[in-house]
Amino acid sequence: MSGHDWSIDTIVHALPSPDMRQQALREVHLVPLDQLEEVVARWRAVAVRWVEVEAPRIEEARAQHEATGRLPAELEETAESADRFDAWRQQMKQLRQQHGAA
């Protein structure tokens, strides 16, 4: 999509999950007008990255798995990646608890 083809609707529809789409719409609708351009630009960057980088990368991995039964090596789980994911999950749990306590 070229730069002039983007609208709030196309940005929101390009986002990969319902939660992200809802968050984007919420932010766009609630932001003060003097900050609207910044919020839209931020969400447009997320949508562009998803459409141009992440979605094709996922599709390539899916196609490789379908053809070979294996994911690309960089996507295979390792002990280190599992540990980092567990640490990230714990950090997110703590943040949610802190946010809930506030």
Question: Which pLDDT score is estimated for 7?
Answer: 95
Taking 3-state DSSP, the helix, strand and coil percentages for the chain, each rounded to the nearest 5, stand at: 85, 0, 15
Residue-range domain boundaries for the chain = 3-71, 77-102
Length of the chain: 102
Q: What is the pLDDT of residues 17-72, one digit of tens each?
A: 999 999 999 999 999 999 999 999 999 999 999 999 999 999 999 999 999 998 88
**Amino acid letter for position 37:** E
Give the phi and the psi of residue 17 in degrees, each rounded to 5. Answer: -140, 155
